[in-house]
Structure 1
């Protein structure tokens, strides 16, 4: 489903806000169901067989492609239109790749959050999640793809984020705050739902 304001928008069927899709579905409700079903299957497959990458932009693109590629031709590709949601206007499409690559390059300097305690991991994971939300690199599916990305990052650091315990409204409220520079609520949500996978010294 097209949930954002964008004009002009080559991603939707003319005269509608329905995203052009491989199934040719032009009814919004039907596409919503099809996308949900496709995502559930792809998400489970991705968890079972994660993307092998370096937590760079290409890694995030592969995750997005795996999650949404069965339904959308543009899955995994940086959007080519500018979009906004409510009062939040996301990064200009011309600077998406540059901004995302520059941001995620910092992860290497932080050793991908490994050997860190829960507080630090929560704070830094929230930082990257918030920044990726502000960039919003894809036409749709950004939140789901970035949660998989951050979840895999944190898992390789020895923790699991229990996203299922966080409501959509909680995520939305925290994302809005992070968009305006305050990631404290996002960090708190992550910390409250962070589970150690191994005994840490």
Structure 2
């Protein structure tokens, strides 16, 4: 149960309110052209996205996590190396599809926030794709199970995630409907996320 600004102490109620509020905020990001003012591929942009989505819910919105986290047997970047990892990700090239997905995979490994990484990072990914190659992902075309397995294996072998996402590319970069599919699917994809945390 995460500490929250809403005073909710039931995990089901918190999940429902988190979804409602963060979806509303995600729509504002799109409709108010806030994303258009941000530099693509930078951690500072991901930080802005995360803060905007969750600032009404969590004190830690936009702030680096202070605990080590793992999912199953996979450990995300240790806190002590997190800032260095993010600096390295900032410096990664992003001139074509393969480079952009490699950057996305590394940001997933970094997992810089305590909650809401997937939602924020998928918006961040589409922002890079839109700016660099004039495409975005139609997330409704990406199978949940295939995606989760591909992301799990991606730090070792990224060919699967590249194949899945490449086949879901669309040039409808100004479509509110396509953007909203990404937001709606964020919750569909993230239902599996149960983190083990280790206080530092």
Q: Which residue of 1 aligns with 2:43?
A: 57
Would you say the 8 A contact 2:49–2:120 is kept in 1? yes
Write the mapping of 1:133-148 to structure 2, written as runs, cut at 5 A.
133-148=108-123
Q: Which residue of 2 aligns with 1:15?
A: none
Aligned equivalents of 1:41, 1:23: Cα separation in 2: 16
SS in structure 2 of the partner of residue 83 of structure 1? strand
Q: How far does residue 42 in structure 1 lie from its aligned partner after superposition?
A: 1.4
Corresponding residue to 2:65 among 63, 75, 79: 79
TM-score of the two chains, using structure 1 as the length reference = 0.78
Would you say the 8 A contact 1:57–1:97 is kept in 2? no
Q: Deviations over 1:24-70 (max 9, x none)?
A: 11101111111111121111112222332323211110011111111
Q: Which residue of 2 aligns with 1:7?
A: none
Q: Which residue of 1 aligns with 2:14?
A: 31
Q: Which residue of 2 aligns with 1:4?
A: none
TM-score of the two chains, using structure 2 as the length reference = 0.79
**Which aligned runs of 4 or more in structure 1 are off by greater than 4 angstroms?**
none
Q: Which residue of 2 aligns with 1:168?
A: 144
Q: How far does residue 167 in structure 1 lie from its aligned partner after superposition?
A: 3.5
SS in structure 1 of the partner of residue 68 of structure 2? coil
Q: Which residue of 2 aligns with 1:40?
A: 23
Aligned equivalents of 2:66, 2:22: Cα separation in 1: 23
Structure 2: 5+ residue runs without aligned partners? 174-200
Between the two structures, name the one with larger relative contact order (CA 8 Å, sep ≥ 6): 2
Aligned equivalents of 2:29, 2:81: Cα separation in 1: 28
Q: How far does residue 96 in structure 1 lie from its aligned partner after superposition?
A: 1.2
Q: Which residue of 2 aligns with 1:90?
A: 76
Aligned equivalents of 1:132, 1:29: Cα separation in 2: 28
What is the number of equivalent residue pairs in this alignment?
A: 169
Q: How far does residue 94 in structure 1 lie from its aligned partner after superposition?
A: 1.9
